[in-house]
Each structure stands twice: as structure tokens, then as C-alpha cells.
């Protein structure tokens, strides 16, 4: 069973008391993100382990894979592959690498559309009549 709102608020209060350097709004957001990763007890265990680690500078890391999830169902998750050039960014979603990617060639054009942008199919009159007839039958008319 995922963590409830009341459990999340109680855990936020506890974590904010344990870690004065963590913002309660940040804790709340991290718990919301982590709530799908395990039961309420597992999220609480992982969050408390995270709070116990001074290297965890931000509650955001609660929802990230790591040793704090060990022994929980979420502990088997694979850590994401990080960008080789920018270790803080996930590979394939690195904004710096995206910007640095090779630009489109000058002569690049998208293939032409097969239909004009404002194309709408004309209703087929015989189909329309059949649909009306079926609708009347369903309404008992
Ligand atoms: Zn990168």
C-alpha cells in the first residue's frame, strides 16, 4: 500500500526535524515522487536512511536509486546511466549534450506531408444514414 497523505505529512515532519538543512516542501515533493517505489514503511525506511547520511545534501535524493533503498522492493532498481561528459545529467536527457549536438544540414527539409494540414475527411452520406438508423434503434425510436 503506497504512503498516505497523513503518513507523508508525519514523515515530512520527522525528516524536517532530523535534517534542519532540508526544506519541508522539498521533503514532501521527494516523498511524493518516492511514494510509488514501495510500501509506506519501505519509503519511510529509505527516507530515514537518506536523512541519516550527511552526504545526502538534498531530500530530492530520497526518490533516486541508491543504498538507502537496500532491502526494499525498490532496492533492485538499476541506477540510471549518467552522461559521460556531465555526470549530474542522465544519459540521453543531457541538455548540454543536446545543445552541442550537430546542427541540421543547411539543405535539410522535412519530407512533404501526404495530406494538407487542413484536411478533414468528408462524411460518407450512406454511412451517416446507417449510423442514424442504428442510433434510433438503440434509443427504441
Ligand atoms: Zn552531457
Ligand 1: centre distance to CA 13 (Å): 36
Looking at the 3D structure of the chain, how many domains does it have?
A: 1
Half-sphere exposure for 139 (CA within 13 Å, toward CB): 7
Cβ–Cβ < 8 Å for 34, 65: no
CB 79 within 8 A of CB 88: no
Would you state the cell numbers that stand for residue 80, as one nine-digit string? Answer: 540510471
Residue 9 lies in a domain: yes
Q: How far is the CA of 60 from the centre of ligand 1 (A)?
A: 21
d(Cα 131, Cα 82) in Å, to the nearest integer?
55
In a domain, 69, yes or no: yes
**How many angstroms does the Cα of residue 80 sit away from the middle of ligand 1?**
14
**What are the beta bridge partners of residue 82?**
90
From ligand 1's centre to the CA of 127, what distance in Å? Answer: 54
Classify residue 35: in a domain, yes or no. Answer: yes
Q: Is residue 33 part of a domain?
A: yes
Separation of CA 39 and ligand 1 centre (Å): 34
pLDDT at 83: 92
pTM over 0.75: no
- Residue 86 is assigned to a structural domain of this protein: no
> Is 25 within a domain?
yes
Handedness of CA 84, 89, 91, 95 (dihedral sign): negative
How far is ligand 1, taken at its centre, from the CA of residue 21, in Å?
29
pLDDT, averaged in runs of 10, over the chain (141 residues)? 89 96 95 91 94 93 88 75 90 89 82 74 74 85 67
**Are 33 and 50 spatial neighbours (Cβ–Cβ below 8 Å)?**
no
User: Is residue 111 a part of any domain in this protein?
Assistant: no
Distance 64 CA to ligand 1 centre (A): 19
Sequence-ordered list of residues with C-beta below 8 angstroms from that of 7, at least 6 positions apart, any chain: 40, 44
Looking at residue 58, what is its pLDDT?
A: 93
Residue 98 alpha carbon to ligand 1 centre in Å: 7
Domain membership of residue 141 (yes or no) is no
User: Hey, CA dihedral for 38, 41, 47, 53, is it positive or negative?
Assistant: negative
What pLDDT score was predicted for residue 77?
67
Cα 102 to ligand 1 centroid, rounded to whole Å: 14
Give the domain range for residue 57: 5-76
Amino acid at each position: 500500500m503506497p504512503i498516505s497523505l497523513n503518513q507523508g505529512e508525519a514523515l515530512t515532519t520527522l525528516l524536517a526535524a532530523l535534517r534542519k538543512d532540508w526544506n519541508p516542501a522539498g521533503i514532501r515533493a521527494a516523498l511524493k515522487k518516492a511514494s510509488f517505489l514501495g510500501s509506506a514503511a519501505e519509503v519511510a525506511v529509505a527516507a530515514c536512511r537518506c536523512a541519516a547520511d550527511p552526504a545526502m545534501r538534498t531530500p530530492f535524493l530520497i526518490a533516486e536509486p541508491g543504498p538507502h533503498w537496500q532491502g526494499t522492493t525498490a532496492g533492485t532498481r538499476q541506477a540510471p546511466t549518467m552522461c559521460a561528459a556531465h555526470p549530474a545529467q542522465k544519459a540521453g536527457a543531457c541538455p548540454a549534450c543536446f545543445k552541442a549536438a550537430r546542427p541540421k544540414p543547411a539543405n535539410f527539409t522535412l519530407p512533404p506531408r501526404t495530406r494538407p494540414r487542413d484536411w478533414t475527411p468528408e462524411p460518407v452520406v450512406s454511412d451517416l444514414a446507417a449510423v442514424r438508423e442504428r442510433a434510433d434503434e438503440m434509443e427504441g425510436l
